[in-house]
Amino acid sequence: MSKTFYIETFGCQMNAHDSEKVIGTLERQGYARVQDEVDAGLILYNTCSIRDKAEQKVFHRLNEYKKMQGEGKRFAVIGCVAQQEGEKIFEKAPYVSLVAGSASYRNLPEMLARLEAGETRITGLDDRQTDETFETEFTARSNPHRGYITIIEGCDKFCAYCVVPYTRGKERSRTAASVLVEARRMADEGFTEIQFLGQNVNSYRDPSGRLSFAELLVAVGEIDGVRRVRFTTSHPRDFTKDIVEAIDATPTLCDHIHLPVQSGSSAVLKAMAREYTRDWYLERMSWIHGAKRDISITSDMIVGFPGETDADFEETITLLGQVKYDAVFAFKFSPRPNTPAITMADSIPDAVKTERLKILMDRQREIQREHYGRHLGQIQECMVESHNAVRGQVVGRSSQNKTVNFVMPRDVSLGAVLPPIGSYLPVRITKTLPNCLVGEALEAEPGVAEEMFFVPAERKNQFVVLQ
């Protein structure tokens, strides 16, 4: 087997970040990454099983692997489907040599050595026992400006519909000290945005007892060079007022909270085992709505959970109007293996789920069309994500995590250049759409460009000249 690898990643940000750590670990072990699977000695597939469709994709891809076997290639299935299906993957796809869930990645070097020695049935599976987290200095972050740090792994919540507690092991947090060391190193390397990750990021409990979640946010926000701190995903059950207070008091903490509600009906929430009611959730919303800063709120929702009546669904729709989310990710309930909901009758026909999903998204779009209007005329700081040099258009992201499409002023000193990717600049919002903002960068006074653009030192010479 040649020491080259190809990796494909599906699923959430935790999976994306796990892949960055897996890539760093493989490179550390002397492997070189290739961009085409044809050239790879080792093909890894980092999988997701949150809904049936995601899992089907995995088995579809595994069938494609089949055609490539016999060329001295090794195959590894990692991530959530690996943990869920375990050794059954070897039966379904005998050409796979390694099956490993995320809670075993810290043993990757040892598993790779066994692979190199010719073993063909290597497993790294978790039994929800481990307290260890996967920490490595060798993370190959794909974006040089904004980077993830997983501060808490696993999930202990066991919502009735969800595979995650079975695929990611039990809840375990890193120490605040180790998170701070990593954040400081990232800031030194030029990262200006840090995003904390966790399936329930705010269930974070510092094993050393030093800092609360809100205190850790503030501590990272105070690191020199850190301009933005985000965190996702929060769980309503562990959502405390001090998180809102920390955002209010710390400008580097982004004014955005993703707090999935799943349903607006207390009866459905009970059946989902979310362990909160509509009113309890709305009380958290009132804390956020009462903040000094305009904190953007986003959510996930499931339609068609077993037993969801028209009246239950109507409560989800009225909740949309009450909260005024800036974005909602809505899904049709998908029965998943191992979960309690799989034994409940999947009582809502697919056509009804589809219809409810459409009603929900239409209503939400209306709300966003109106609610985004509050930004008209505002000046928002944007981080530059990409640009089109020919058209002179720039795509940026606001602190609230909104996409802002804007143009540079053309008739002033900086008018002829596009700002570097990863720089920050103020943009006046001239138009609002349901899913993004449109604007114009503010004119820069000669000489103040540097402060205004906040260009990380090592990237100062990367201005792109407009044609």
DSSP collapsed to 3 states, the chain: CCCEEEEEECCCHHHHHHHHHHHHHHHHCCCEECCCHHHCCEEEEEECCCCHHHHHHHHHHHHHHHHHCCCCCEEEEEEHHHHHHCCHHHHHCCCEEEEECHHHHHHHHHHHHHHHCCCCCEEECCCCCCCCCCCCCCCCCCCCCEEEEECEECCCCCCCCCCHHHHCCCCEECCHHHHHHHHHHHHHHCCCEEEEECCCHHHCCCCCCCCCHHHHHHHHHCCCCCCEEEEECCCHHHCCHHHHHHHHHCCCECCEEECCCECCCHHHHHHCCCCCCHHHHHHHHHHHHCCCCCCEEEEEEEECCCCCCHHHHHHHHHHHHHHCCCEEEEEECCCCCCCHHHHCCCCCCHHHHHHHHHHHHHHHHHHHHHHHHHHCCCEEEEEEEEEECCCCEEEEEECCCCEEEEECCCCCCCCCEECCCCCEEEEEEEEECCCEEEEEECCCCCCCHHHHHCCCHHHCCCCEECC
Residue placing its CB nearer to ligand SAH in the complex, 48 or 449: 48
Residue 50 interacts with ligand F3S (CB under 6 A): yes or no: yes
Using CB under 6 A, which residues numbered 198 to 237 contact ligand SF4? 199-200, 235
Using the contact rule CB under 6 A, the part of the chain among 162-170, 184-192, 338-346, 386-394 near ligand F3S is: 162-170
Residue placing its CB nearer to ligand SF4 in the complex, 168 or 387: 168
Residue 15 interacts with ligand SAH (CB under 6 A): yes or no: no
Using CB under 6 A, which residues numbered 64 to 93 contact ligand F3S? 79-80
Count of residues binding ligand SF4 (CB under 6 A)?
10
Per-residue binder mask for ligand SF4 (CB under 6 A), 234-253, x = binder: -x------------------
Report in angstroms how near the CB of residue 25 gets to ligand SAH at its nearest. Answer: 25
Report in angstroms how near the CB of residue 105 gets to ligand SF4 at its nearest. Answer: 18
Residue 54 interacts with ligand SF4 (CB under 6 A): yes or no: no
Residue 382 interacts with ligand F3S (CB under 6 A): yes or no: no
Per-residue binder mask for ligand SF4 (CB under 6 A), 134-163, x = binder: ---------------------x-xxx--x-
Using the contact rule CB under 6 A, the part of the chain among 127-135, 327-335, 355-363, 454-462 near ligand SAH is: 327-335
Work out what residue 165 binds among ligand F3S, ligand SF4, ligand SAH, none; the CB cut-off runs from 5 to 8 Å by kind.
Answer: ligand SF4
Residue placing its CB nearer to ligand SF4 in the complex, 155 or 455: 155
Report in angstroms how near the CB of residue 334 gets to ligand SAH at its nearest. Answer: 4
Residue from 14, 253, 441, 452 that binds ligand F3S (CB under 6 A)?
A: 14
Residue 163 interacts with ligand F3S (CB under 6 A): yes or no: yes
Residue 161 interacts with ligand SAH (CB under 6 A): yes or no: yes
List of residues contacting ligand F3S (CB under 6 A):
11-12, 14-15, 48-50, 79-80, 163-164, 167-168
List of residues contacting ligand SF4 (CB under 6 A):
155, 157-159, 162, 164-165, 199-200, 235
